[in-house]
Amino acid sequence: MLVVLAAIGIPAAVLTATCAGRSCDASGGETVRVPFCPLPAALKDGIANGFREGRSPDVLGVAAGSPVYTDVGGLRTPWPTTGPPTDPRVPMVFAGDGVTKGESVPDGTTLDRVAPTVSDILGFDRAFPEVRSGTSIAGIADGERPRLVLLIAWKGVGSAELETAGPAGRPFLTSLLRGGAGTLDADAGSLPLDPAATLTTIGTGGLPSQHGITGLVIRGDDGEVASSWGPDAPGSIISTLADDLDRATDQRARIAAVLAEGNDRGIVGDGWYVDVRDRDDHVVTAKPVLAVSRLLDAGYGRDGNPAIIGVTMRDSVARMDRATQAIVRTVHARVPDATFVVTSTGTRARPGAVPSVSIDHELESAMGARVIAASSAGGFFLDRQVSAERGTTADDVATAMRTMRASDGSPLFEDAFPAFAVAFSRYC
């Protein structure tokens, strides 16, 4: 097997790191440490789905007993962990016109299936489906064609928080579940649960491994670290549903984003097609109800053109539930033939989690230099200039991470590894 793999150009270091053939057996009979591959299958799949070579951190880690988090725009976003595993469940509800009432959404349905299902409801065939992992959920579309689709995503919560709140703590979402088609046991589809990544999954119908928005912080084409959807950052590698609808209708479709933060833009995209002048409406606001009402005043859903409004909000479960109710009722009163989709970006870090900024400082102390350019939920980006000057490699940083201890003396990380270990995970 090693001869065959070597013949097609797989580096020897990769063969060893991924345990191909008997490459894990050292000459002395001892076992060589294998990164990434020994992790639980579901955890590996989630990390691989959330990884894009060239965009993701240079060094990744999986926490052990003590959880780890990175502050992502004020949200404590958890790192992948083995004990107990990060809960990837999110709500997914379709309601309103165009939706088969009472139809079930299978448990485990991933967020990359939202856009294809909405496309099915609209009766819109997107080009190049092979570039996206998501497929339409059978039975949701009832054949009616809505004039307006409202996509609402609650940030920083998952089904774990909704279960804690109980039906009484989110009464409107409960009513949508009963009157529409949905589940509380959908799945984000990738790890880590970074809102920038999962919102772009909702918008595109592809996983982060396909769209490349792997987190709030990504590596740009020029090698520099940038904030996703910022002016210096590369955009999504694949188009969103809204982008495609815009192009297919020669910009007649009305597309808007009402966002809690500017980097939530992945829910509708940002003019993926460079050969046309995009005329979408974007507003960043803490008052989404008012913003949606103003879009309706401007003709959304009432001027004969198909329309999509993506809304993100970040607040307590109870307040987001009330805001969602107000938005849905406002829209329904003025555009009766509207479709509503409600989901979320995933759970927060558990109490007592270790902040990655403290790990960052410990790593730089161990390396003797400021080698960390930025942290992201799940890993660290290296300062390539400093690393080159110091001769510090991603493996050096991963090795230092594996020596770290939690407050009780147990290992802080179950595993830490250079990014290439994930890139070659298919050889595990």
| 17-64 residue pLDDT tens | 444 333 344 445 556 778 999 999 999 999 999 999 999 999 999 999
Residue type, 402: R
Q: Which residues of the chain have pLDDT under 70?
A: 1-31, 274-278
Per residue, the 3-state secondary structure of 14-44, as one string, reads: HHHHCCCCCCCECCCCCECCCCCCCCCHHHH
Asked whether the beta carbons of 418 and 59 are under 8 A apart, the reply is: yes
Write out the H or E segment, with its range, that includes residue 329.
Answer: helix 317-334
Neighbours of 297 (CB within 10 A): 10
pLDDT value, residue 277? 64
Which sequence spans correspond to the domains of the chain?
A: 35-84+351-427, 89-344
Asked whether the beta carbons of 269 and 240 are under 8 A apart, the reply is: yes
pLDDT value, residue 275? 64
pLDDT value, residue 280? 84
> CATH classification of 89-344 is 3.40.720.10, yes or no?
yes
Nearest Cα to Cα of residue 90 among 105, 101, 71: 105
Asked whether the beta carbons of 236 and 115 are under 8 A apart, the reply is: no
Neighbours of 380 (CB within 10 A): 27
Asked whether the beta carbons of 52 and 419 are under 8 A apart, the reply is: no
Q: DSSP H helical segments within 123-229, as ranges?
A: 159-169, 171-179, 195-204, 208-211
| 184-224 residue pLDDT tens | 999 999 999 999 999 999 999 999 999 999 999 999 988 99
3-state DSSP call for residue 231? coil
